[in-house]
Structures are given as C-alpha cells and as structure tokens.
Amino acid sequence: MMPGIDGFETCKRLKNNSASCDIPVIFMTANCDTDSKVKGLNIGAVDYITKPFHEEELLARIKTHLQLRNLTKTLEKRVTERTGALSRALKDLQESQLQLVQTEKMSALGQLVAGLTHEINNPVGFIHGNLGHASAYFQDNIHDGIDSTIVILKHRLKASEDRPDIQVIRDYDNLPELECFIGQLNQVFMNLLANAIDALEESNVGRTYIEIEANPNQVLIQTSLSENKNHILICIKDNGVGMPTDVQQKIFDHLFTTKPVGQGTGLGLSIARQIVVEKHGGTLEVNSAPGQGSEFIIKLPIEKS
C-alpha cells in the first residue's frame, strides 16, 4: 500500500538497476496470501515476512541474508580470479603448443636439410642416383612422395660404425589418381619412416654386427588397393623393437612420446594422424608387438565424400 508504486514494482526496479540489483530485498507486508508470496520471490525477493512480526526474527533473517550475500560475493570473486587464472593458463598452453608444433616442423626441416646437404656434397652422384626417381614422378600420383622422402632420409639409412645399412623394400601396386595434399602426406611419410629408422637403431643396441647381418634391418613399404577398390592402402613396416599394447594405445595421443627428454616432441604421430584423418578423410592404424616390429597402415579414400 505504497504511494505511487507498490512493493512489487519497487523490487522490479531495484533488480533492473545495476547499482542495486545485488542488494537483498525482503518483503514485509500484511498481505499473506500464497500468490503474493510467490510473485514477490519470483521477481527477486530473498524473503517474505508477514505482519505481525517479531523483532528478533526479523533481525535474524536480515543477518542470515547479509551473510549469504557476503558469501556469494566472496564466491563470485574467487570464481572470477580462478577464471582469469585458467584463461592465462590456457593462453600459455596454446603458446607452448604452437612452439612445439614449430619445433616439430623444424625437426622435419632439419631432416630435409641434413639429407640434402649430405647428397649435394656429391652433386653428380645425387643427380645420377635420382634420375630413376625423377622419371617415376611423372608416372605415379602417390609413390613419388614416398620416394622423395626416402631420398631425404638416405643418409640415415646408410651403414654406420654400429650397424649395417637399413634396407628399404618397396612393393608398389598400380594406383589410380588420388586427390590429396601431397605436401602434407609427405610430412606423414617423413614421420613414419623416421620413426621406423629410430626403432631399428634402438633394436641394434647390444647386438653384434654379425647378429644384425643375420637378421638385417629392413623397412617394407607396400601400396595397394583395398578389396572394394575405394581406398588406397600404404603400409610401412619395420622389423625393429616393436611396441607393447599400452604404448600402442597412446602412440597417437597429443604430446605422447617414448623418446628421452629433448629427443621427441610427441607431436609427430599426432600430426600425422590429424593429416590423414581430418585433412584426407582416411585412417592411420598401427599393429605391433614387442620384438616383432611395427606396422603403420594408412588408408586413403580415392574419392572424397
């Protein structure tokens, strides 16, 4: 029974004003019907007291709502601070991931530069040794990417003081034309072949030269069509140390690596799967067992859906 506007309208205006919307509002009235109580609470009141009232009860309710408001303000402040901290942490993580991606790209570039530098030291040998590859590029739409990757990694395939050379066996099928991002697929081939070489080098630790010659280091690369002729299959298989089941389950996880600190970013296989799956609509799977080597199978659709 207020002049001008009633209590309900007053409460609405308080709640619609940014300067007063957080102030707890308690209705105190002689109107005790249920509809009025519900209406008052629905428009933002925190309590509804009917006359006659007891002073002690009113003060106790006011004290309770002030405490609740203070607790709410403290909680909101903590949430804001926590949100800010999480936002900063997310930004730092994104920057770190970007740096890791750049590191992985620089690692692949390092492989490229090392391979080219090693071969260009002997330009005539480089040209002569790759004439066959150059002619094949004009004939095949996916094999040239594999061949060029092998050329880049050739310096890592050669024999060293610790082991004989690594043999690369190519078994190429006649493949149809494939619409793809060949530069990105070359990065996939680079990661998979570099990992195969790493696995073979690891498997040679502790073995004698004679033992290695009896079971030579080999990487088998096969290409074929799927049974339904709708997909191209690319298999890269080594006879290295292999992987246990728990490692296979994590091998494509972001930042997961089995290499010592400083020798691997954990991005190579993660990026490889992203390129195959997200960019080409294909699949990348691994089959392996300890001591039995590892096999990576790339499956690419010939026609994009």
| Residue whose C-alpha is closest to residue 297's, from 280, 282, 288, 284 | 284
The burial class, CB within 10 Å (0-12 / 13-18 / 19+), for 270 is buried
Distance CA 91, CA 240 (A): 39
CA angle 216, 219, 223 (to 5 degrees): 145
Token pair recorded at residue 140: 């095949």
Homologous superfamily (CATH) of 116-301 is Histidine kinase-like ATPase, C-terminal domain (3.30.565.10)
Q: For residue 299, give both structure tokens.
A: 């499956």
| All residues at 6 or more sequence positions from 88 whose CB lies less than 8 Å from its CB, including other chains | none
The size of the chain, in residues, is 305
Which residues of the chain fall below pLDDT 50?
Answer: 118-122, 124-128, 131-139
User: Which residue blocks in 121-181 are alpha helix, DSSP H?
Assistant: 123-137, 143-152, 154-157
Residue type, 169: I
pLDDT in the model for residue 132: 47
Please give the model's pTM, rounded to 2 decimal places.
0.56
Q: What is the pLDDT of residue 170?
A: 94
* Digit-coded pLDDT (tens) for 103-144: 555 555 555 555 555 444 445 444 445 544 433 333 357 898
Residue 125 pLDDT? 47
E strands within the chain? Answer: 26-29, 47-50, 167-171, 218-225, 231-238, 283-288, 294-301
Which pLDDT score, from 0 to 100, does residue 77 have?
83
Domain boundaries, the chain: 116-301
